[in-house]
Amino acid sequence: MSGGINAHWLMHYRVVTLVNQCRRLIRDEFGVKLTLTDPRLREALSEYAGRSGSTELKRLIRQIDEEAGDAMPEDEPVHGSTEQRPARRMYRGQPLPDPPADAGASSESGPEKTIIYRGRRVRGG
């Protein structure tokens, strides 16, 4: 999922409900449709809440920050940092272990390839 969307903060049902309420208010006030798949969704919500005259929108943004946590997820760079780490691969909300360094050099059809199906080794070494 390199370069993909980091939506850890959207993994909670309550946060998604609050975000959808914010999206409706922003659409009504500014005429802008924000999508849940936007990688800058959280920043865009905060920007529109700052420009908005709606106290309801500002209250919802504060609730989102409380529910989702103010800290950025570990694989998103903090604003102002110059170095950018590659995004961690995720499976069902859990980070996957990093692949071995020589994984790219080995052949896909080589006999040393291990195939795991539903958590069990079915072929390979």
Q: Identify whether the C-beta of residue 98 lies closer than 8 Å to the C-beta of residue 75.
A: no
- CA–CA dist 47, 38 (Å, integer): 14
For residue range 19-67, list pLDDT tens digits in order: 999 999 999 999 999 998 888 898 999 999 999 888 999 999 999 888 8
Percentage helix, strand, coil for the chain under 3-state DSSP, each rounded to 5: 35, 10, 55
pLDDT tens digits for 23-36? 999 999 999 999 98
Report the alpha-carbon distance of residue 39 to residue 4 in Å, rounded.
Answer: 8
* Tokens describing residue 11: 């993994």
Here the tokens at position 53 are 């005259």
pLDDT bucket at 76, cuts 50 / 70 / 90: very low
Q: For residue 104, what pLDDT is reported?
A: 53
